[in-house]
């Protein structure tokens, strides 16, 4: 009999340990999955360790002191989890202070996860030649020889090819069927793309990256400097050496151009991996990588866990982007996971951005990373940027949505049949609906958040939990029946633009218009086809796009993000402005940018106007140093939530007291956060210079919470990006 130790899915952190089961199937081994009954329920486990024993079930149970469960079935023919994935799960669980099983879940495609509902792997019927028995007609022989030459074929294809002859051959025993895992998402091979000769600046950058002795190189290249071509040519050299390349992007649907270019450059050897794939497609891509069928993977953050055999290069494009951070446990940052893998494979991690995160740039200046810069655009001209003071504009009776200057510039561009992008980082029609009698605003019943009015869908929406309801007839507070819509969202902006430019073709891209599969691509395709004159959107339109006829970008409420009570709000505001401006005038036609702001003298706006990253960096680092915020310190956030406010409050104070007793670093809070989805929330922040001891203290405190049987949901974030 075998004794098998496995990781079992169970939500409670308390069960973050191995469980032992008996097994009578000799094929059980490390890395395979097994079906078991756990706590009365059918579950899956990942096998960590297998040991032979002379004892029988009863003897083993007696020795262990409990009655051993028996593994019902060992699932896989080959181990799914290789040694690297095991090691990575261990690292990830330590790094994020989360359970090992939640790490496996984050790392694997749904079909392979214990929590996945559909574990069945889709199989397909294939045919192959068998023994030669008896005589064949000429037709039959031709068909049989054709199959023999290719070796094997999917049954469906064979049927199409050989028709009834194929059937006869099978009946006669000349060919036989077998099963193979289905492959529906084989990448279609598209025509090859020509390679652009690098400019001297690109060539220098490429050589500097290759010459670097450091594991991590930060490529700081202004928008439109041609970073993608540098990535592709470096990737080509790695592929020539028979090694694999991982290209990470923030969002696949927003980078159709990058995906296209990679597919064309490396036909048949690319896997695309992102959350938009269905479970079967994800599984197939995972297997293709595992079998070494692909040379290049382009994917979003979870692609960092693909089972590569021999990585030669990892590229992380737009490394500052917040979608690289996962906000469910395990709350990892993709950059950390990428670095772990680069070290394991002894390959380079290339971080690219026009607006690097302060942390990365600081590391580069300190010499932890190497820094390579591309300070000029391919077309040698950055767009001309102006800020409009909206306070002044309002005093002159201009519209508070579109200033006269922006309207005038839109008119000019439309006349020349060029395209315009307008960015407003707020979706819906208006973010607040206020009763004109008692002045209270409509609130989400589940969160402490105002409901936004969405005129297009005719509903009130909560942007925190997704709750929707029809517009109310009377105020729940005073029964008044007249309301005022306050503030503007993209729907309101679209209405105003249509009013001012009735002949323009207007499109809108935000979370509401892009829910359907393929919606992103359709909007971008219309822009590319010149079926759109003005594209309105939230921050998603600022990302990475390259459309030669977009020559004017307008940013509405460019300083709105500064109101967020978060230590990174200035950094993200600056990044948004520079990235949005970067969409303008990328080809022959020169570009312009208009930023509307109520506080245009704020340094985030001023450096944004100058597109001066290093100036901004020096200034912002000074504030970070004075406030002791990252990168001058490390933060760990611990959030407690529960349905009973008293209990949650009591428990986090108890937890905080334990931490204060055992940890010398600063502990801020607990502070109450807004209620979310009927849960009351409180947060503690550890702030200090010694990350290791901070982590150790939090781990101890988590054990303490277990001993005390605390019932609140506890979420630890060891690299928080936002602290609102």
Footprint of Zn ion (CB under 5 A): 444, 446-447, 462, 464-465, 467
Contact between 49 and 96 (Cβ < 8 Å): no
Here the tokens at position 724 are 């609102």
225's contact among Zn ion, ligand ADP, none, with CB below 5 to 8 A by partner kind, is ligand ADP
Among 37, 64, 123, 196, binds ligand ADP (CB under 6 A): 196
Q: Is 225 in the site for ligand ADP (CB under 6 A)?
A: yes
Q: Are strands 348-353 and 452-454 parallel, antiparallel or unpaired?
A: unpaired
Among 93, 99, 228, 353, binds ligand ADP (CB under 6 A): 228
DSSP string, 425-467: S--SSBSEEEETTT--B-B-SSSSSBPEEETTTTEEE-TTT--
444's contact among ligand ADP, Zn ion, none, with CB below 5 to 8 A by partner kind, is Zn ion
From the CB of 589, what's the least distance to ligand ADP, in Å?
12
Among 15, 18, 365, 378, binds ligand ADP (CB under 6 A): 378
Which range binds ligand ADP by CB under 6 A, 44-52, 147-155, 227-235, 629-637? 227-235
711's contact among Zn ion, ligand ADP, none, with CB below 5 to 8 A by partner kind, is none
- The H or E element that residue 180 is part of is strand 175-181
Which range binds ligand ADP by CB under 6 A, 130-138, 163-171, 196-204, 479-487? 196-204
CA dist 351 and 420 (Å) reads 30
Contact between 220 and 613 (Cβ < 8 Å): yes
227's contact among Zn ion, ligand ADP, none, with CB below 5 to 8 A by partner kind, is ligand ADP
99's contact among Zn ion, ligand ADP, none, with CB below 5 to 8 A by partner kind, is none
Closer residue to ligand ADP in complex, CB, 92/315 = 315
Closer residue to Zn ion in complex, CB, 179/678 = 678
198's contact among Zn ion, ligand ADP, none, with CB below 5 to 8 A by partner kind, is ligand ADP
Contact between 620 and 631 (Cβ < 8 Å): no
Contact between 433 and 483 (Cβ < 8 Å): yes
Which range binds ligand ADP by CB under 6 A, 163-171, 177-185, 219-227, 392-400? 219-227
Which range binds ligand ADP by CB under 6 A, 216-224, 302-310, 490-498, 665-673? 216-224
From the CB of 239, what's the least distance to ligand ADP, in Å?
19
Closer residue to ligand ADP in complex, CB, 11/614 = 614
From the CB of 464, what's the least distance to Zn ion, in Å?
5
Q: Is 264 in the site for ligand ADP (CB under 6 A)?
A: no
Interacting residues of 68 by C-beta distance below 8 A, sequence separation 6+: 20, 21, 22, 57, 60, 61
Q: Is 221 in the site for ligand ADP (CB under 6 A)?
A: yes
446's contact among ligand ADP, Zn ion, none, with CB below 5 to 8 A by partner kind, is Zn ion
196's contact among ligand ADP, Zn ion, none, with CB below 5 to 8 A by partner kind, is ligand ADP
Helix H, strand E, coil C: the string for 487-538 is: CCCHHHHHHHHHHHCCCCCEEEECCCCCCCCCHHHHHHHHHHCCCCCEEEEC
CA dist 511 and 230 (Å) reads 32
Q: Is 546 in the site for ligand ADP (CB under 6 A)?
A: yes
- Cβ atoms within 10 A of the Cβ of 419, count? 24
CA dist 417 and 533 (Å) reads 8
C-beta contacts of 619-626 below 8 A and 24+ residues apart: 620/358, 620/570, 620/571, 620/574, 621/358, 621/362, 623/570, 624/358, 624/567
Binding to ligand ADP by CB under 6 A, coded x per residue (else -) over 566-595, reads --------------------x---------
DSSP character at residue 63: H
What beta strand segments (E) does 354-401 contain? Answer: 370-374, 384-389
From the CB of 551, what's the least distance to ligand ADP, in Å?
14
Q: Which of 710, 709, 688, 594 lies closest to 633, judged by CA?
A: 688
Q: Is 373 in the site for ligand ADP (CB under 6 A)?
A: no
Q: Tokens 């005390």: give the residue.
A: 708
Closer residue to Zn ion in complex, CB, 400/467 = 467
Binding to ligand ADP by CB under 6 A, coded x per residue (else -) over 115-144, reads ------------------------------
Interacting residues of 367 by C-beta distance below 8 A, sequence separation 6+: none
Q: Is 198 in the site for ligand ADP (CB under 6 A)?
A: yes
DSSP string, 692-705: HHHHHHHHHHHHHH
Closer residue to Zn ion in complex, CB, 86/467 = 467
Half-sphere exposure of 508 (CA within 13 A, CB side): 22
Closer residue to Zn ion in complex, CB, 467/567 = 467
Q: Is 419 in the site for ligand ADP (CB under 6 A)?
A: no
Count residues binding ligand ADP (CB under 6 A): 16
From the CB of 299, what's the least distance to ligand ADP, in Å?
18
Q: Is 250 in the site for ligand ADP (CB under 6 A)?
A: no
The sign one gets for the Cα dihedral 341, 343, 348, 352 is positive
Q: Is 551 in the site for ligand ADP (CB under 6 A)?
A: no
From the CB of 560, what's the least distance to Zn ion, in Å?
21
Q: Is 244 in the site for ligand ADP (CB under 6 A)?
A: no
**Phi, psi (5° rounding) for residue 372?**
-125, 135
From the CB of 318, what's the least distance to ligand ADP, in Å?
9
DSSP string, 254-321: G-HHHHHHHHHHSTTSEEEE-TTS-HHHHHHHHHHHHTT--SEEEESGGGGGS--SSEEEEEEETTT-
Interacting residues of 568 by C-beta distance below 8 A, sequence separation 6+: 721, 722, 723
Q: Which of 212, 146, 193, 197 lies closest to 174, judged by CA?
A: 146
242: left (phi over 0), alpha (psi -120 to 50) or beta: left
Closer residue to ligand ADP in complex, CB, 354/656 = 354
Closer residue to ligand ADP in complex, CB, 418/559 = 418
Closer residue to ligand ADP in complex, CB, 60/198 = 198
Q: Is 96 in the site for ligand ADP (CB under 6 A)?
A: no
From the CB of 378, what's the least distance to ligand ADP, in Å?
4
From the CB of 586, what's the least distance to ligand ADP, in Å?
6
Closer residue to ligand ADP in complex, CB, 247/663 = 247
Give, in order, the Cα–Cα distances in Å from 408 to each of 338, 495, 552, 673, 724: 46, 18, 11, 43, 37
Closer residue to ligand ADP in complex, CB, 224/299 = 224
- Strand 666-676's sheet: what is its strand order? 666-676, 679-688, 634-642, 713-717
592's contact among Zn ion, ligand ADP, none, with CB below 5 to 8 A by partner kind, is none
Residue ranges in contact with ligand ADP by CB under 6 A? 196-199, 202, 221, 223-229, 378, 546, 586
């Amino acid at each position: 009999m075998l004794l098998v130790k496995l990781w079992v899915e169970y939500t409670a952190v308390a069960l973050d340990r191995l469980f032992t089961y008996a097994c009578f199937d000799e094929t059980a081994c490390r890395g395979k999955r097994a079906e078991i009954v756990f706590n009365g329920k059918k579950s899956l486990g990942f096998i960590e360790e297998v040991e032979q024993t002379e004892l029988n079930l009863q003897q083993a149970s007696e020795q262990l002191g409990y009655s051993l469960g028996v593994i019902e079935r060992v699932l896989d023919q080959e181990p799914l989890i290789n040694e690297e994935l095991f090691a990575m799960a261990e690292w990830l669980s330590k790094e994020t202070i989360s359970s090992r099983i939640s790490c496996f879940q984050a790392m694997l495609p749904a079909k392979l996860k214990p929590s996945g509902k559909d574990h069945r792997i889709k199989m397909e019927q294939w045919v192959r030649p068998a023994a030669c028995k008896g005589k064949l007609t000429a037709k039959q022989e031709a068909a049989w020889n054709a199959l023999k030459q290719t070796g094997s074929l999917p049954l469906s294809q064979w049927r199409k090819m050989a028709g009834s002859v194929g059937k006869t051959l099978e009946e006669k025993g000349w060919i036989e069927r077998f099963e193979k895992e289905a492959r529906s998402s084989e990448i279609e091979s598209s025509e090859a793309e020509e390679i652009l000769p690098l400019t001297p600046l690109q060539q220098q950058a490429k050589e500097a990256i290759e010459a670097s002795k450091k594991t991590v190189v930060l490529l700081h290249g202004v928008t439109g400097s041609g970073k993608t071509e540098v990535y592709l040519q470096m990737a080509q050299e790695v592929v020539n050496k028979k090694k694999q390349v991982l290209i990470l992007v923030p969002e696949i649907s927003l980078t159709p151009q990058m995906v296209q270019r990679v597919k064309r450059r490396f036909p048949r050897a690319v896997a695309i991996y992102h959350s938009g794939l269905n479970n079967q497609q994800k599984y197939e891509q995972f297997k293709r990588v595992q079998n070494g069928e692909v040379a290049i993977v382009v994917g979003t953050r979870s692609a960092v866990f693909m089972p590569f055999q021999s990585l030669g290069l990892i590229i992380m494009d737009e490394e500052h982007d917040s979608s690289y951070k996962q906000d469910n446990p395990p709350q990892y940052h993709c950059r950390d996971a990428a670095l772990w893998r680069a070290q394991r494979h002894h390959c380079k991690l290339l971080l690219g951005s026009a607006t690097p995160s302060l942390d990365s740039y600081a590391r580069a200046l300190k010499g932890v990373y190497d820094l390579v810069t591309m300070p000029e655009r391919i077309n040698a001209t950055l767009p001309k940027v102006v800020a409009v003071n909206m306070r002044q504009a309002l005093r002159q009776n201009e519209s508070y949505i579109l200033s006269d200057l922006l309207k005038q510039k839109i008119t000019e561009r439309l006349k020349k049949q060029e395209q315009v992008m307008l960015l407003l980082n707020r979706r819906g029609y208006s973010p607040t609906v206020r009763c004109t009698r008692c002045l209270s605003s409509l609130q989400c019943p589940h969160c402490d958040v105002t409901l936004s009015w969405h005129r297009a869908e005719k509903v009130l929406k909560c942007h925190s939990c997704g709750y929707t309801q029809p517009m109310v007839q009377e105020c729940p507070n005073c029964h008044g029946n007249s309301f005022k819509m306050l503030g503007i969202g993209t729907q309101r902006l679209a209405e105003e633009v249509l009013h001012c430019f009735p002949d323009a073709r207007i499109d809108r891209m935000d979370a509401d218009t892009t829910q359907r599969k393929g919606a992103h691509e359709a909007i971008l395709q219309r822009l590319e086809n010149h079926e759109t004159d003005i594209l309105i959107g939230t921050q998603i339109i600022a990302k990475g796009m390259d459309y030669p006829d977009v020559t004017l970008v307008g940013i509405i409420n460019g300083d709105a993000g500064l109101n967020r009570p978060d230590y990174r709000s200035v950094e993200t505001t600056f990044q948004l402005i520079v990235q949005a401006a970067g969409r303008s005038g990328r080809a022959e036609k020169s570009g312009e940018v208009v930023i509307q702001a109520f506080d245009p003298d704020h340094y985030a706006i001023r450096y944004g106007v100058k597109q001066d990253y290093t100036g901004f960096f020096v200034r912002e680092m000074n504030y970070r140093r004075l406030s002791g915020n990252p990168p001058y310190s490390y933060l760990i956030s611990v959030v407690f939530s529960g349905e009973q406010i008293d209990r949650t409050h009591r428990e986090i104070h108890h937890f905080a007291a334990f931490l204060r007793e055992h940890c010398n670093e600063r502990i801020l809070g607990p502070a109450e956060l807004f209620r979310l989805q009927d849960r009351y929330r409180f947060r503690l922040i550890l702030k200090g210079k010694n990350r290791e001891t901070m982590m150790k203290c939090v781990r101890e405190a988590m054990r303490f919470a277990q001993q005390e049987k605390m019932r609140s949901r506890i979420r630890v974030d060891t690299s928080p990006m936002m602290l609102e």
